[in-house]
Amino acid sequence: MEQRNRYRFAGTFSEQKRFVGLPPDEFCLLVPLGLLAIFVNMWIFGPTLLATFIGIRRLKNGRGSQYILNLAYWCLPTSVMRFFISILPESYKRHWVA
């Protein structure tokens, strides 16, 4: 029973976790770039922020709000993803159960 209650699922699609109005995958990319643009160099990080914003919108077009985080889970190494997703197992150890 404790194994099943370990994960929390949203009751509806509109009940999504957001930070500063952004889904977590966009927040992790856009906020650090925005802070770098403000505090370091607007001429370097400003266009990078704009290109990242447009790229995220194109990549997520028609997909769920957590698409980039899911893509990173399956494609990035476990050591990188441990920072964002600590509960789920490594992606290479997952199996579909029919």
What share of the chain has pLDDT > 90, as a percent? 26
Render pLDDT for 23-46 as a digit per residue (tens, 0 to 9): 877 888 899 999 999 999 999 999
State how far the alpha carbon of 15 is from the alpha carbons of 25, 37, 58, 60, 61, in Å. 16, 31, 23, 19, 20
Q: What is residue 75's predicted lDDT score, i.e. its pLDDT? A: 85
**pTM for the full model?**
0.61
